[in-house]
Amino acid sequence: MNRIIVCIKPVPDPKHWHKVSMDPVTMTLKREAIPNVMNPLDKHALEAALRIRETRGGEVVLLSMAPPFAERILKEGLAMGADRAVLISDRVFAGSDSLATSRILAAGCRRIGEYDLVLLGNFSIDGSTAQVCSQLAEFLDLPNVMHVGELDWDARGNMIVTQRIENGRVKLLAAPPIVLSVRRELNKPRYVSFAGILAAEKKDIQVLSNEDLRLEPATVGFAGSPTKMAGLEVRRSERARARIEGTLEEMVQQLADRIFHYCVV
Amino acid sequence: MSVEKQDGIWIFAEQRDGGLHTVGLELLSKAAELAEGAGASVTAVLLGSGVETLAQVLVDHGADRVLVADDPLLKHYRVLPYASVLESMVRERGPSILLMGATAMGVELAPRVAARLQTGLSAHCIDLKLDGDGRLLQVVPGWEGGVVATIKCPDHLPQMATVMPGIMRARPPEHRNGSITRVAVDLAGVNLGPEVLEVSMEPPKGVPLEKAEVVVAGGWGIGGKEDWKMIEELAEVLNGAVGATRPAVDEGWAHEDCMIGQSGKTVRPALYIGIGISGVMHHIVGMDQSKNVIGINTDPSAEIFAVSDVIVVEDYRKIVPKLIEAIRARRSTGYRALECTDPGLSAT
């Protein structure tokens, strides 16, 4: 194995999601109050990369397109064991949809150089579009497999990838270079060790702007995103919102009455 | 650029091993509704090997035309050949709108095709409408509870969207006439990508979540794997299925297959009971078509209460064990939960 690139996205910590709000004027996310964490599924992608390196060698490079605060998330990935990290950060990339994001990440991959594998989480927990794996692969002109639940090698050194689908699985014979996005059951990500944290301090985070990537500004960011936000709507619920009150016993009986009423034919 | 001037509205009719996924029929129903207003035609695209017999099913569910690409190389779904065939069909005929299911297949294939066509794609839509200019308004769940975003693709065609399975209703079939056109497949020189070695299906155990008439769902507020057993027990006494929010799945209390919401399943049971669930939009979009909703949470300002018929502001640890006892007691006197009555086509 020559090199494995792992795409990492900082996302708002789901434990604080109730604090997220949207600015109705700019139609952007107000997330200042929310701490960022590494997208949970990306950790599984990184764990997969580290395990492959342990058995088949190669360099593990983290790649992220994010504001500068993402350095802290990349440090965490370096502390888990990645060799180095590349952060693509430029205001011109703001407002990118999945197509523009994938174009930028593809430029980042090419800048990193030769690689055998690009790994990422199946989706990010904030946007949840799950579109970057396929679109990044398209821009890199590589095959891709999503929903990877198992990753093995046969005796001849061929990669065997098992894809989870509705009520089943598909086993595929895959050949690098390829882009794979993984599900949580693939592995259990390792914890960051104290030695890992110390080692991460010595590892490099390279920051790239569009001066380095030289993408046409019309193809990235808001300008390069075919999808546009057209509106925000407040959902009004017509539910009764009847509150059950009383002692614990009274509440239980009322609740059982309701359930009985709803469910008995 | 309007819908009727182009080749109308297309839906991708997903099949695996000769079985149509119900999401294709749901998309047909929505496409027919959109097309009626716009004076456009509805086309279903069917890819596979030996699948032509499915074409009439698609006509009967609302397709005016079915384009069938039938080739041994398309027997098993693979993203590269499927993307190649779909791309060339779109380039040749130019639909205004292309809709696909947000299934394992759809979420892999649709973005690849969108990237080839350099067009926009909105993911996991919960509704679709046309604006006054015939542009597709793609309704996707937004961030904050109670808000949904509308996405447009104003300058590119086709306008593409994936739609969550189960969120739209398929029309009952009626015998209709439609054209069935076989499209030539040319995959010579195309990189087919990874080779399929084996496809194995595992029929789901118990009541499938999507078809359960009672769903008991738990969230972050449950607090631990041990306490999660209360959720399972309540579901069991109600002959229901267990649902979960993302944090509960991420914590490992519930299996990923139990997840309800934007990147999980859509449920519409007769009764949904949400316990320890804050109610972020990602979850709400998967459950708010439930007929009756009971919310149990200690926090009176929990978003789940905004979509609840019955609100219980109390610690579930006090309520649920007593509720299980009460239901068991009543069941012994003749209670029975609804049976699943949704006929549905065989979902693959």
State pLDDT tens for residues B271-290: 999 999 988 877 888 898 89
Give A16's contacts (C-beta < 8 A, 6+ positions apart): A33, A34, A35
- pLDDT score at B276: 96
Triad B81, B190, B24: Cα angle to 5°? 15
- To the question of domain B209-332 being in CATH 3.40.50.1220, the answer is yes
* Amino acid present at B116: R
Q: Do A233 and B150 touch (CB under 8 A)?
A: yes
Of B148, B156, B308, the CB nearest to A235: B148
**CATH architecture for segment(s) B3-182:** 3-Layer(aba) Sandwich (3.40)
Q: Over 60: is that where the pLDDT of B4 sits?
A: no
Q: Over 80: is that where the pLDDT of A16 sits?
A: no
Q: What is the mean pLDDT of residues B29-51?
A: 95
Find out whether B85 is annotated in a ligand binding site.
Answer: no
Q: Over 50: is that where the pLDDT of A145 sits?
A: yes
- pLDDT score at B325: 93
Say if CB B266 and CB B282 are below 8 A apart: no
Domains and CATH numbers, chain A: 3-219 (3.40.50.620)
pLDDT > 90: percent of chain B: 71
- pLDDT score at B75: 96
- Give residue-wise pLDDT tens across range B216-261: 999 999 999 999 999 999 999 898 999 999 889 988 899 888 999 8
Interfacial A residues in 191-220 facing B (CB < 8 Å): none
Q: Report chain B's terminal Cα–Cα distance, integer Å.
A: 36
Q: Do A248 and B314 touch (CB under 8 A)?
A: yes
Q: Which of B87, B312, B332 to mutate to test the interface with A (most CBs of A within 10 A)?
A: B312
Cα B113 to Cα B75: distance, rounded to the nearest angstrom: 19
Q: Which of A23-37, A190-204, B175-189, B232-246 bottoms out in mean pLDDT, i.e. has the lowest?
A: A23-37
Q: Do B108 and A134 touch (CB under 8 A)?
A: yes
- Give residue-wise pLDDT tens across range B55-100: 999 999 999 999 999 999 999 999 999 999 999 999 999 999 999 9
Of A15, A20, A229, the CB nearest to B247: A15
Q: Quick one: which H or E segment has residue A223?
A: none
* Nearest CA-CA partner of B153 in B82, B83, B201, B98: B98
- pLDDT score at B345: 34
Give B16's contacts (C-beta < 8 A, 6+ positions apart): A165, B77, B105, B199, B348
Contact residues, chain B, for A265 at CB < 8 Å = 336, 338
Contact residues, chain A, for B16 at CB < 8 Å = 165
Say if CB A121 and CB A42 are below 8 A apart: yes
- pLDDT score at A236: 62
pLDDT > 90: percent of chain A: 74
Q: What is the mean pLDDT of residues A116-126?
A: 92
pLDDT band at A221 (very low <50, low <70, confident <90, very high): very high
Beta-strand (E) ranges in chain B?
Answer: 9-12, 15-16, 19-20, 42-48, 65-70, 97-101, 121-125, 127-130, 136-141, 147-152, 159-163, 179-182, 195-201, 214-218, 241-244, 271-275, 292-297, 310-313
pLDDT band at B331 (very low <50, low <70, confident <90, very high): confident
Question: Cα B162 to the chain's mean position, in Å?
Answer: 9
Tokens 């716009």 sit at which residue?
Answer: B38
Q: Looking at the complex, does the CB of residue A44 fall below 8 Å from at least one CB of chain B? A: no
Q: Over 80: is that where the pLDDT of B1 sits?
A: no
Chain A: nearest CA to B136, how far in angstroms? Answer: 11
* Amino acid present at B84: S
Looking at residue B172, the DSSP 8-state letter turns out to be: P
Q: Quick one: which H or E segment has residue A54?
A: helix A40-56
- pLDDT score at A232: 73
The dihedral region occupied by A157, where left means phi > 0, alpha psi between -120 and 50, and beta the remainder, is left
Q: Which of A25, A102, A122, A129 to mutate to test the interface with B (most CBs of B within 10 A)?
A: A129
Q: Do B309 and A239 touch (CB under 8 A)?
A: yes
Cα B45 to Cα B215: distance, rounded to the nearest angstrom: 34
- pLDDT score at B143: 52
Q: What is the mean pLDDT of residues B125-153?
A: 82
Q: Over 50: is that where the pLDDT of A186 sits?
A: yes
C-alpha distances (whole Å) from A48 to each of A135, A164, A195, B249, B321 are 21, 16, 20, 20, 41
Q: What is the mean pLDDT of residues B105-113?
A: 98
Find out whether B59 is annotated in a ligand binding site.
Answer: no
Q: Over 70: is that where the pLDDT of A58 sits?
A: yes
Q: Using alpha carbons only, how large is chain A's radius of gyration in Å?
A: 22
Give per-residue burial for B261-271: e unless 16+ CB within 10 Å, then b. Answer: bbbbbbbbbbb
Cα B128 to Cα B107: distance, rounded to the nearest angstrom: 17
- Give residue-wise pLDDT tens across range B289-329: 899 999 999 999 898 998 999 999 999 999 999 999 998 88
Q: Quick one: which H or E segment has residue A172?
A: strand A168-174
Q: Quick one: which H or E segment has residue A93?
A: none
pLDDT band at B131 (very low <50, low <70, confident <90, very high): very high
Contact residues, chain A, for B104 at CB < 8 Å = 146-147, 163-166
Q: Do B153 and A183 touch (CB under 8 A)?
A: no
Q: Over 70: is that where the pLDDT of A264 sits?
A: no
Chain A: nearest CA to B104, how far in angstroms? Answer: 5
Mean pLDDT for chain A overall:
91
Sequence ranges of chain B with CATH classification 3.40.50.620: 3-182
Please report the sign of the dihedral spanned by the C-alpha atoms of residue B100, residue B105, residue B111, residue B113.
negative
Cα B104 to Cα B308: distance, rounded to the nearest angstrom: 31
Please report the sign of the dihedral spanned by the C-alpha atoms of residue B297, residue B301, residue B302, residue B303.
positive
Interfacial A residues in 104-133 facing B (CB < 8 Å): 123, 125-133
Sequence ranges of chain B with CATH classification 3.40.50.1220: 209-332
Of B124, B323, B338, the CB nearest to A265: B338
Q: Looking at the complex, does the CB of residue A93 fall below 8 Å from at least one CB of chain B? A: no
Q: Over 90: is that where the pLDDT of B140 sits?
A: no
- pLDDT score at A202: 93
